[in-house]
Structure 1
């Protein structure tokens, strides 16, 4: 086997054009198909990067779902959509995996534009049960007798929204809705919380192995007919499971029938369980136990995250093909540990993403001062507010796109109570390959609405360290530090600091004020060089703290003939928009050109490709400034 084989669907998999093709396969062919799927998964992710561990764990489960249910008439909704690669293969897209996560290729998540089998383009967790409840209600309203299947796992059951949906699902006992809990005990890392502890109890209980074997025998044995007796055998093992292993009672107390636990890598057992669930007239929960990374020992043995999300790697060793340069997250990881060394009142909070957001080193050194609350951003924010009320300073580290889910808590829990909580937003701005739902392009617009909040966008590593230290000193209001995905640009020192504003370039008799927000300061400097080549003099500034808007920006704006703002955030409500309003309120009469992300859902592509498409490049910005500079003789406005 070559280190990285070609990404190509072969054998039986190459002939799969849709789920109904699975019906003609015998047991041996289905086993071979599972092997071919895993081969393609490993080859594709080794070449393109992506989510490997979650998909290796759901091969047999996905095959069983598509053999028992009739997609797209029966609607299959995937929570944490990164576990949908196998679903894509079985719905006719295996031949396209060479283009996984490329600009014109397959998305790394379900995509309605790709297939009629993809219902929800979700890649934020804990939402599938709400979608499923709505779809099932729609079936009821339209008289349809089709099923809805919601697959939830990878820690998504720790999200409160999932339990809100279960509460509603349980209230209507005649809807054809099957909830499949893919229980692999992990999100990025081992799942936390009371639910996780109860489910983990199943694996560690002395009665687990014999009970699972008894269920398997009933599911696959000669007496395992798919009628009422089989349902009772599954839904039952009541005395064995309910008393010894506990989860059945938890769900049945809600009014949802429980089947399981089922071995998630035993295709026959899975098909029997799902068929029994399908034949029941009301909502059923099928509890499936899987292993993340199944079939690829390197993934299973990876103690960090079982190759949850991988960069391109050598499939023989699991080693990355290229060493990534130091990223923004690593700068935060180092600095938060230094701060924690100096201040015992600083604590960390993560929403099931300890390593991705850089709190792992803090947790390693001070395990009692870092709290993982699961996929529960709303709880994370209000819990942090309570911590602040109790006299400590919490640092909540999340991806920028995920803070959207907790805006109300930031506004009315943290800010209203003037609590000192620091939010660190990783992956801010255009993130690229992961698609629309992961671009962190909303936070600066949303947070502008929050009274009293302080917001910093550092331009480089030195400024990130500086802003983080300034943020944790704020104890009477929420503070936010946001930074981009990927490599950290070179440090750029200021030639002067005016208030909180860093002046990075000051030409004599400057005509244009270029305001570069965060790492866009580097683009502003490059645009200034191009303007200089055209005979136009500029001042380039980095505000450092963009909320509250520094008054020095208005003073600088008044001394120039044109102001140009550049930010890695949506146009509406962002820094540029705020400055436009401030310039208007002050009646300065200076035109302001706002360069930001178009307010649209961006396709998946490399960051630089998207920025060029959006006009966020130094040449495009310089050309626009030349066109709009008052008195330049070539204005169009």
Structure 2
């Protein structure tokens, strides 16, 4: 007999698998897991979390009528199997590649992605919004709304704010808690599966509703006692008392890899007519079904290209240390001589380099979970008691703690130091993770010191400067990836606050750089000099306080002033323009050209290609300078392919 057609080849969209038997769905899950592993071995990406939800993805799409039923994946790290099942298998090996599929859910990519994601803990809020919209529109039949959220995302306050609201509104919403690390559940097995199927069944729900109606006939104290007794009885059996108290009907925990457990419970939840939020607790394993990922989940959360057989990840050729590692080195050096220095991060110890700090100073490192708002105010509290906190956080994630930064840090002038990793463009993670806005949103903060080093040695000096500032908040930004390869000191030397430096002197054009675009500014100066346009190049170091003496000197002694930064418009260039406007420099004929990120989102690509698209290379600087002089330029920029 010829070999049977693989089940995955029979699926183009989720509707294709809804008549499959449980055994066929099991085979489909096995094939889907293999496809996911093979795909990520070629593209890189978030492997462990995607492998952990293979069966869950199959079960949800087999039971629910997606895309009419709305399925929201929190964060989106785990959405690769979902993408394969929803008409994107033929493009799945373009994942995170230039012009290819996003590594996260994206509304513009597919109708099966009803809500975009990449930052955590948004799914329940979005799902509740969709559920309420459905109710207001009186849709018949009423669509289901399913939000899948991981236990890590449950550590963020936003998730509980949404659950509290949902519990009070009594709008029908299904939340699936994908628990792969919380260890809050009792052992998962046949008894747990039986209880979950029982308490999610229509007969049990009807009985519960009947009991609730009967209880209302009793005096209020007895009614309240009866209701609490029923909630806590199920809470003791299942571990879901917390969720019950938030107003959710809790079911679980069940084995998230066992389709014989998942399918009947999901069908029960789909078919129930309870007008209240429901929470299904499933227990899964990151990296499930791939031994290397099971053995080292942290290393396989986000991976580079790898060998499927051995699990060995492709390593880049040896190069300069990353800015992240240099930050860790610098902070450790400062902490060795200052016992008040402490480090705080919201669930990113490895991503920010603070795992290295923790090995050296375990009692002075605090991972607060996915809780950026808390991280900022926690740091403020420590600063108020005389500690010297460094809050290390990706630029894009500090956005989530903005009110706390303003109210709890800046208004009280507390010396919290913000180390903003991943500033600027970030390559394959794309627009959702780009640190484009930090200079803009920090600029209005009274009294705050804002710095940007131009290379890794400057980053060490930047850390030393922040450590020395003890009377106000400070922040410094640095990019993802490797440094320039410059020599590093053992320890940084503090800068004079608000003072930049001049690296090259010229007479006609001045380039003032903030951050790591300085190397491109110097390269541009070389090309301009070859064209007979001598150019001054300066490194601002500080956006705030701005080195107004340096800016005035550049404006007074040059015909053209160009600023360059890897940030959105409204940041450094705007601050320089504001000063120049008030000093009358423009009235005297100064030609000013602020170079920033363009006013559009830049999609995932190689960092080099992104910078070309953004218009922030040396050749772009040259073109702007020559056009300002009056020399028209015509230069074709060719995107650099992803590495």
TM-score (norm 1): 0.89
Match of 1:530 among 527, 531, 542: 527
1:287 to 281, 291, 299: 281
Per the alignment, residue 555 of structure 1 pairs with 553
Q: C-alpha distance in 2, partners of 1:47/1:237? A: 51
Alignment partners' CA distance in 2, 1:224 and 1:500: 67
1:323 to 2:311 alignment: no
* 1:547-626 superposed matches below 5 A: 547-551=544-548, 552-571=550-569, 573-589=570-586, 590-626=590-626
CA gap 1:490/1:558 in 2 versus in 1, 3 angstroms:
farther
Structure 1 equivalent of residue 223 of structure 2: none
Contact kept in structure 1, 2:554 and 2:561, CA below 8 Å? no
SS of residue paired to 2:511: strand
* Distance across 1 between alignment mates of 2:436 and 2:206: 48
CA drift at 1:166: 0.6
What residue number does 1:215 align with?
A: 192
Q: What residue is the counterpart of 1:100 in the other structure?
A: 95
Residue 520 of structure 1 corresponds to which residue in structure 2? 517
Matched, 1:243 2:236: yes
Q: Distance in 2 between matches of 1:201 and 1:609?
A: 45
For 2:412 and 2:252, the matched residues in 1 are separated by 45
Secondary structure class of the residue paired with 1:336: helix
Q: How does 1:74-473 map to 2 (within 5 A)?
A: 74-144=69-139, 145-173=142-170, 175-185=171-181, 196=182, 200-202=183-185, 208-209=186-187, 212-217=189-194, 227-229=202-204, 242-243=235-236, 246=239, 248-278=240-270, 279-281=272-274, 282-302=276-296, 305-323=298-316, 325=319, 326-473=321-468
Gaps of 5+ in 1: 1-9, 186-195, 203-207
Q: What is the CA distance between 1:492 and its match in structure 2?
A: 9.0
Question: Residue 33 in 1 paired to residue 28 in 2?
Answer: yes
Q: Secondary structure at the match of 2:486?
A: coil
Is the contact made by 2:18 and 2:63 (CA closer than 8 Å) also made in structure 1?
Answer: no
Question: In the aligned structure 2, how far is the partner of 1:225 from the partner of 1:387?
Answer: 46
Matches of 2:28 and 2:526 in 1, distance apart?
A: 57
Residues 217-240 of structure 1, C-alpha deviations (whole Å, 9 max, x = no match): 4568xx99953248889x999777
Distance in 2 separating the partners of 1:540 and 1:405: 35
Change (3 A) 1:476 1:225: closer
Structure 2 CA distance, aligned partners of 1:486 and 1:154? 29
Would the aligned equivalents of 1:14 and 1:95 in 2 still touch at CA under 8 Å?
no
Worse overlay, 21-30 or 350-359: 21-30
User: Where does structure 2 lack aligned partners over 5 or more consecutive residues?
Assistant: 209-226, 489-494, 635-643
Instruction: Tell me if structure 2 keeps the 8 A contact 1:219–1:272.
Output: no
Partner Cα separation in structure 1 for residue 51 and residue 414 of structure 2: 43
TM-fit CA distance, 1:634: 6.0
SS in 2 for 1:140: helix
Question: Could you report, residue by residue, the CA deviation over 1:486-528 in whole angstroms, capped at 9, with x for unpaired residues?
Answer: 11113399xxx99721222123xx2111112211000101111
Distance (whole Å) between structure 2 residues aligned to residue 81 and residue 19 of structure 1 = 18
TM-score, structure 2 as length reference: 0.88
Preserved contact between residue 300 and residue 306 of structure 1 (Cα < 8 Å): no
CA distance 1:343–1:382, change in 2 (3 Å): same
1:54 corresponds to: 49
Structure 1 residues 225 and 258: alpha-carbon distance in aligned structure 2, compared to 1, 3 A threshold: closer
Q: CA deviation at 1:463?
A: 0.3
Correspondence for 2:10: 15
Shift of residue 274 of structure 1? 1.6
- Verify the 8 A CA contact 1:516 1:523 in the aligned structure 2: no
Q: 1:239 and 1:231, CA in 2 relative to 1: closer, same or farther beyond 3 A? A: farther
Q: SS state of the match for residue 481, structure 1? A: strand
C-alpha spacing 1:94/1:560, structure 2 compared with 1 (3 Å): same
Q: Which moved more, 1:49-58 or 1:278-287?
A: 278-287
Greater shift, 591-600 or 343-352, is seen at 591-600
* 2:503 is aligned with 1:504: yes
- Give the 3-state SS of the residue equivalent to 1:63 in structure 2: helix
Structure 1 residues 237 and 412: CA distance shift in structure 2, 3 A: closer
Q: Deviations over 1:333-367 (max 9, x none)?
A: 11111111111100010101111111001111211
2:254–2:283 Cα contact (<8 Å) kept: yes
Q: 1:232 to 1:532 in 2, by over 3 A?
A: farther
8 Å CA contact 1:516, 1:522 repeated in 2: no
Alignment-derived partner of residue 4 in structure 1? none
Change (3 A) 1:634 1:41: closer
Correspondences of 1:485-504 after superposition (within 5 Å)? 485-491=480-486, 500-504=499-503
Go from structure 1 to structure 2 and tell me whether the alpha carbon gap of 1:475 and 1:32 turns closer, same or farther (over 3 Å shift). same
Q: Distance in 1 between matches of 2:308 and 2:631?
A: 60
CA 1:219–1:261 in structure 2 vs 1: closer, same or farther (change >3 Å)? closer
